[in-house]
Amino acid sequence: MVGLGAMPASAATVTPSCAADAVLGITSASYHFMWDGTTWFHDGPGGSVTGTVQAQRTISATISAGAEVSTDELVVAAKATVSSSVTKTLQTTLGHAYTHTIPAKDYGNLRYGGWGYSVSWTYEYRQSNCVIKILQKGTGQVPTVAQGWYYFNTTS
């Protein structure tokens, strides 16, 4: 006879049940400038620096490692986790000009590109017994639809 508060012997053998599934998740993200790799203006010392974009460039999402994870999957996961403005590729715009004043004795630098996220990701498999196995992990870069100039000073 089982008394009050006691558990039947069979309750201890119950195993939790989970649906087996592979999941790609974003574990961290930071917003940063993604230079187009070409458009860079440098001027000074002092005065001002002006940049004008006259050609289109493409900035694309990238992924490290990932034999089982595609760039498309990374973009979908980042879009759901970080920002709905995440995109696989971004075409920078023609004819965009910008001027910035340079402090005396410094040099001004302008770079053109887009804003996006550096992300860390994991690709996990949840087994039917609820144990999670990490299959892969890595990092990636995903642009958003935002684009423009990034200014910084240097001493030479």
Q: What does the pLDDT profile of the chain (156 residues) look like in tens digits?
A: 333 444 444 445 555 677 778 888 888 889 999 988 888 999 999 999 999 877 677 777 777 766 677 777 777 778 777 777 777 777 766 677 899 999 999 999 999 888 988 988 888 888 888 888 888 888 888 888 888 899 999 999
For domain 18-154, is the CATH number 2.170.15? yes
Distance, CA of 110 to CA of 99 (rounded, Å): 9
User: What are the extents of the domains in the chain?
Assistant: 18-154
Residue 83, pLDDT score: 78
- pTM, entire model: 0.63
Q: DSSP 3-state assignment of 107?
A: strand
Residue 100, pLDDT score: 95
Residue 42, pLDDT score: 93
Cα distances (Å, whole numbers) of residue 66 to 39, 80, 121, 124: 30, 19, 10, 12
Please tell me what DSSP assigns to residue 7. Answer: P
Distance, CA of 109 to CA of 155 (rounded, Å): 11
Residue 110, pLDDT score: 94
Residue 21, pLDDT score: 80
> CB-hemisphere CA count at 13 Å for 119?
30
Cα distances (Å, whole numbers) of residue 94 to 113, 147, 148, 155: 12, 11, 11, 30
Residue 152, pLDDT score: 96
